[in-house]
Amino acid sequence: MIAIFDKKGFDALLTLEMNTLVNADLSGAKLENANLVQVDLSGANLTNANLKNADLRLANLSGANLSGANLMGADLSGALLDNANLKGTLLPVQAPLSTS
């Protein structure tokens, strides 16, 4: 069994009857503010998933289907996105660097 918690680690956002998230079907999952640091989501179906403000640092999203997913405010630092489908994905926007 896998439980995905919020960033604070107190609230379980999703509990799954599986032992891996590789190739998992998480389409439409509500994972806002989820802690997914270093999680292997390779090949996962995250179509239309809400990953707003999720912590995906160093996550493996290689080959994942993120089409239509909401990643606004998500931290993707060091995440692997090789061959990921990002069609229609709402991606985080970084503020421009100050030049003053």
Mean pLDDT for the stretch of residues 40-52: 97
pTM over 0.75: yes
Residue 91: predicted pLDDT: 86
- Residue with token string 């996962």: 44
Residue 19: predicted pLDDT: 85
Report yes or no: 74 and 51 within 8 Å, Cβ to Cβ: yes
What confidence tens digit (pLDDT) does each residue in 10-35 have? Answer: 889 988 888 899 999 999 999 999 99
What confidence tens digit (pLDDT) does each residue in 56-100 have? Answer: 999 999 999 999 999 999 999 999 999 999 999 988 866 455 554
